[in-house]
């Protein structure tokens, strides 16, 4: 019997190590790769083509929401299982819209995580603790007709990337080097982000990023 190949995406080393040990004990599961940030998650998903991708939300360089969107656009059949500390409806809706098929909290028992991986691999939608697939479909229907939208939807994909990197404290030059953009283009993106969000300084932008789970406090 072939094993279910899992990619673990989380910026906390101890959590990745714990998951690797947990899954190693399961005869039909194996960890084929790890990613410490969202950009690496996209690269690893492209290179390894895992059966299931365990995805944290708050990660450096590119958060789990944006990484999931890019992975889903690259491979619409990718199975992304969110593993996070955030349990608000807003995060659930955003990740489902991005293409995730499961959502599990980090506080779950190991056996529940294993069950969720199997469920997602089999094509089922899995939400913690006991929300049915019908509820998932209801989320997606409401999102499709324009409900559950928020200010992040006003931003382009590039603007969301710039927003995260600014909030992480990176300079315009560093952002430009990372995204292969000129400093002037980065500054233009920054101006558009602040205008669209009604934010006037970097401090408020950082608060917004924390509130939306784009970055987390160290």
Q: 160 with 127, same domain?
A: no
Residue 218 lies in a domain: no
Q: What is the pLDDT of residue 167?
A: 83
For residue 156, give its domain range: 151-211
Q: What is the pLDDT of residue 194?
A: 86
Residue at a domain's end among 144, 161, 192: 144
pLDDT per residue as tens, the chain (218 positions): 689 999 999 999 999 999 999 999 999 999 999 999 999 999 999 999 999 999 999 899 999 999 999 999 999 889 999 998 877 777 787 888 888 988 888 888 888 899 999 988 988 777 775 444 445 566 566 555 554 456 777 888 999 899 889 888 888 899 999 999 998 899 889 888 888 888 877 777 877 887 777 876 55
CATH code at 82? 3.40.50.2300
Q: 9 with 103, same domain?
A: yes
Q: 20 with 83, same domain?
A: yes
Q: 68 with 136, same domain?
A: yes
Q: 133 with 164, same domain?
A: no
Residue 188 lies in a domain: yes
Q: 105 with 184, same domain?
A: no
Indicate the pTM of the whole model.
Answer: 0.68
Residues 6+ apart with CB under 8 A from 141: none
**3 state SS for the chain:** CCCEEEEEECCCHHHHHHHHHHHHCCCCEEEEEEECCHHHHHHHHHHHCCCEEEECCCCCCCCHHHHHHHHHHHCCCCCEEEEECCCCHHHHHHHHHHCCCEEEECCCCHHHHHHHHHHHHCCCCEECCCECHHHHHHHHHHHHCCCCCCHHHHCCHHHHHHHHHHHCCCCHHHHHHHHCCCHHHHHHHHHHHHHHHCCCCHHHHHHHHHHCCCCCCC
Q: 109 with 163, same domain?
A: no
Residue at a domain's end among 144, 167, 185: 144
- Number of domains forming the structure of the chain: 2
Q: What is the pLDDT of residue 134?
A: 44
> What region does 82 belong to: left with phi over 0, alpha with psi -120 to 50, or beta?
beta
């Amino acid at each position: 019997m072939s094993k279910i190949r899992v990619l673990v995406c989380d910026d906390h080393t101890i959590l990745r190590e714990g998951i690797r040990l947990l899954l190693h004990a399961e005869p039909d599961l194996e960890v084929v790769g790890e990613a410490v940030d969202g950009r690496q998650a996209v690269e690893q998903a492209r290179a390894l083509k895992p059966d299931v991708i365990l995805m944290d939300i708050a990660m450096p360089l590119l958060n789990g929401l944006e990484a999931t969107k890019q992975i889903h656009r690259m491979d619409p059949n990718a199975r992304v299982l969110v593993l996070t500390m955030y349990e608000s409806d807003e995060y659930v809706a955003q990740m489902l819209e991005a293409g995730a098929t499961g959502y599990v909290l980090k506080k779950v028992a190991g056996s529940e995580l294993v069950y969720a991986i199997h469920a997602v691999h089999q094509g089922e939608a899995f939400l913690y603790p006991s929300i049915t697939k019908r509820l998932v479909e209801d989320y997606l229907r409401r999102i499709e007709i324009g409900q559950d939208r928020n200010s992040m939807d006003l931003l382009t994909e590039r603007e969301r990337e710039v927003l995260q990197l600014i909030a992480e404290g990176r300079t315009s030059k560093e952002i430009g080097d990372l995204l292969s953009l000129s400093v002037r283009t980065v500054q233009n993106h920054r101006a558009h982000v602040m205008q669209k969000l009604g934010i006037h300084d970097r401090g408020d932008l950082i608060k917004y990023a924390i509130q939306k789970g784009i970055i987390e406090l160290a």
